[in-house]
Amino acid sequence: MTATGPATVPVTAALALGDDALVLSHRLGEWAGHAPVLEEEVALANIALDLLGQARVLLSLAGDEDELAYLREERAFRNLQLVEQPNGDFAHTIARQLYFSTYQHLLHAELAAGDGPFAPLAAKAVKEVAYHRDHAEQWTLRLGDGTETSHERMRRACAALWRFTGEMFQPVEGLDVDWAALESRWLESVTEVLGRATLSLPEGPRTGAWSAGAGRQGIHTESFGRMLAEMQHLHRSHPGASW
Amino acid sequence: MATAAAQRTARPQADGATAGDPAEYQRVFDAAVAADERIEPRDWMPDAYRATLVRQIAQHAHSEIIGMQPEANWITRAPSLRRKAILMAKVQDEAGHGLYLYSAAETLGTGRDELLDKLHSGRQKYSSIFNYPTLTWADVGAIGWLVDGAAITNQVPLCRCSYGPYARAMVRICKEESFHQRQGYELLLALSKGTPEQHAMAQDAVDRWWWPSLMMFGPPDDESQHSAQSMAWKIKRHSNDELRQRFVDICVPQAESLGLTLPDPDLTWNEERGHYDFGAIDWSEFRDVLKGNGPCNEQRLTQRRRAHDEGAWVREAAAAYAAKHTGGTGTTGHDTTGAERA
């Protein structure tokens, strides 16, 4: 579908940022009732809610939030492949949070400092994301520098998601960002946190033929279609209904 | 309201010298309860009072935690982003309520780990209502309106319960629960006034949740084991049947304004009593569900145990990290409770 927002808002960028938040929020919502400790039920739901709030503002800039969330098909979503990755074990969820929240925090800080159309939104979001980033870092430390089992699980999780991290720095049309600088700050931060967690930066490529900016082009991984089927099923079953 | 310290009965403390006269301890306790004062964690209290409170508060906490499941079942399928946000916030609140209540139970000398063990091994129960499945989106609304409505009817009097930490937890919880109940009502209203399919979905949900909600008030007064003692201790303020009647009286006009019917052909206004008369509850179903044979008993406990078991390595990691870096025993608030035990 073609969404048209206010003339001043670059729709491509609103969709990219909005879809990231929407999809990651959904994944975190899947944890409800399954977390390893009650405090994490609260924390993961809290982060999911923050992200959903961001998604609603961003998608509303691009069009109708519910039409965009519930009536687009897989190929029209512009989120990163990283955020659609299944939760896996707690270490996979935390590794995904570490990679993404570090990126999102740096990105929003830069957007908030500028005078583009996303500055006001980013100024609010950056405060929430600072908390998400702290949460991810604290758990990376506990898991990496906890027991042998948790260290190994965290190492594997960081390695498994590593190949999805390159696409975060593919330029997004409509966002005035120094992507190369963002990437080097991200690498520096993640290296530092992993180091403190007694882990090292994973080896291997950060991009591949299917992951270099592919999510932003609507090329997704297999589990994403199933996630959307679940998310959209009820809404699509009652065309035109309000809820 | 809490009595000012100066006006409080002078009371022996739970950890005080055991040399005192037990009859005198009991007399002071009884006087404090009679004067509507709050019993606090360090006060002496009868063992049976402590045990009853531990059982009730723990089961209340367990209900919040198990109660997350039927609603969380719909988070990933919520039909609009607004509804999804409301539902996520609600499930998050329930985890928070569980945490308050476990803390209140811990003031009585037990620990969260111990209570969770009892839940997982089936030695402590949770509210029977959460053994029913959420089959459609409208069930989320029916749970908000009826289940939270019944919970509030039960819990508002607990804000005046004689045990201070429980009463204070209930004040906080009831505020949030009332909000959830209004949201559930509003969700059902949107469905009831929506398409014919949505209306039918709402009616079907209310038909399935009405009787189980009435069972939330517990067995009839003449079969309720703990009622008389709990009322004497002012843990409980009203009988099961009184609260159930109050709930029915509140729901009937609300159902009318929702444009939905309640599935009870015997429901009629009784002018003489000034209350609604209602049909007989199927207590055999209630007993069956309590015994573990409800539609979801197995599933709910299995999921809870699995979350706990699969999370063990995470809790161990947090404890190991804390031991290395702070010399503490854990950072989850979870492993420190042993030190608090009386």
**Percentages helix, strand, coil for chain B, rounded to the nearest 5?**
65, 5, 30
Give residue-wise pLDDT tens across range A108-165.
Answer: 999 999 999 999 999 999 999 999 999 999 999 999 999 999 999 999 999 999 999 9
At residue A4, the pLDDT reads 47
CA B81 from chain centre, in angstroms, equals: 28
* Shortest Cα distance, chain B CAs vs residue A183, angstroms: 30
In contact, B29 and B44? CB cutoff 8 Å: yes
At residue B181, the pLDDT reads 96
CA dist list (Å): A214 to A217, A239, B250, B270: 5, 30, 55, 68
What share of chain B has pLDDT > 70, as a percent? 91
Residues of B in contact with A150 (CB under 8 A): 313-314, 316-317, 320
* Shortest Cα distance, chain A CAs vs residue B247, angstroms: 27
In contact, B298 and B304? CB cutoff 8 Å: no
Mean predicted lDDT score pLDDT of chain A: 94
**Average pLDDT value for residue range B117-141:** 96
Residue B47: pLDDT over 50: yes
In contact, B63 and B300? CB cutoff 8 Å: no
How far is it, in rounded angstroms, from Cα B27 to Cα B29? 5
At residue A209, the pLDDT reads 65
ipTM of the modeled complex = 0.95
Give residue-wise pLDDT tens across range A187-243.
Answer: 999 999 999 999 999 998 888 666 667 999 999 999 999 999 999 999 999 999 999
At residue B7, the pLDDT reads 58
Nearest CB among A45, A49, A230 relative to B76 is that of: A230
Does the beta-carbon distance from A241 to B195 stay under 8 Å?
A: yes
Does the beta-carbon distance from B92 to A141 stay under 8 Å?
A: no
Give residue-wise pLDDT tens across range A61-91.
Answer: 999 999 999 999 999 999 999 999 999 999 9
How far is it, in rounded angstroms, from Cα A48 to Cα B251? 34
* Shortest Cα distance, chain A CAs vs residue B135, angstroms: 12
**Average pLDDT value for residue range B309-320:** 98
- How large is the angle between the packed helices B240-258 and B164-192, nearest 10 degrees? 30
- Quickly count: other Cβ atoms within 10 Å of residue A176's Cβ: 15
Q: Which two tokens stand for residue B164?
A: 């201070």
Nearest CB among A37, A69, A89 relative to B315 is that of: A37
Residue B333: pLDDT over 60: no
Provide the pLDDT confidence category of residue B326 given band limits of 50, 70 and 90.
confident
Provide the pLDDT confidence category of residue B4 given band limits of 50, 70 and 90.
very low
Does the beta-carbon distance from A39 to B332 stay under 8 Å?
A: yes
Question: Half-sphere exposure (CA, 13 Å, Cβ side) for B149?
Answer: 29
CA dist list (Å): B99 to A78, A79, B197: 38, 35, 39
Does the beta-carbon distance from B310 to A66 stay under 8 Å?
A: no
At residue B15, the pLDDT reads 62
At residue A207, the pLDDT reads 81
Determine the Cα angle at B41 with ends B37 and B47, to 5°: 90
How far is it, in rounded angstroms, from Cα B56 to Cα B63? 10
Q: Closest by alpha carbon to B119, among B107, B109, B134, B130?
A: B130
Residue B335: pLDDT over 90: no
Residue A145's closest chain B neighbor by CA? B321
**Percentages helix, strand, coil for chain A, rounded to the nearest 5?**
65, 0, 35
Residue B3: pLDDT over 50: no
* Shortest Cα distance, chain A CAs vs residue B287, angstroms: 26
Give residue-wise pLDDT tens across range B286-311.
Answer: 999 999 999 999 999 999 999 999 99
Strand bridging mode B275-277 / B268-270: antiparallel
How far is it, in rounded angstroms, from Cα B287 to Cα B283? 6
Residues of B in contact with A52 (CB under 8 A): 81, 84-85, 88
In contact, A206 and A166? CB cutoff 8 Å: yes
Averaging pLDDT over each range in B14-28, B151-165, B221-235, which range is the top one? B151-165
At residue B225, the pLDDT reads 78
CA A205 from chain centre, in angstroms, equals: 20
Question: Half-sphere exposure (CA, 13 Å, Cβ side) for B26?
Answer: 7
How far is it, in rounded angstroms, from Cα A20 to Cα A12? 12
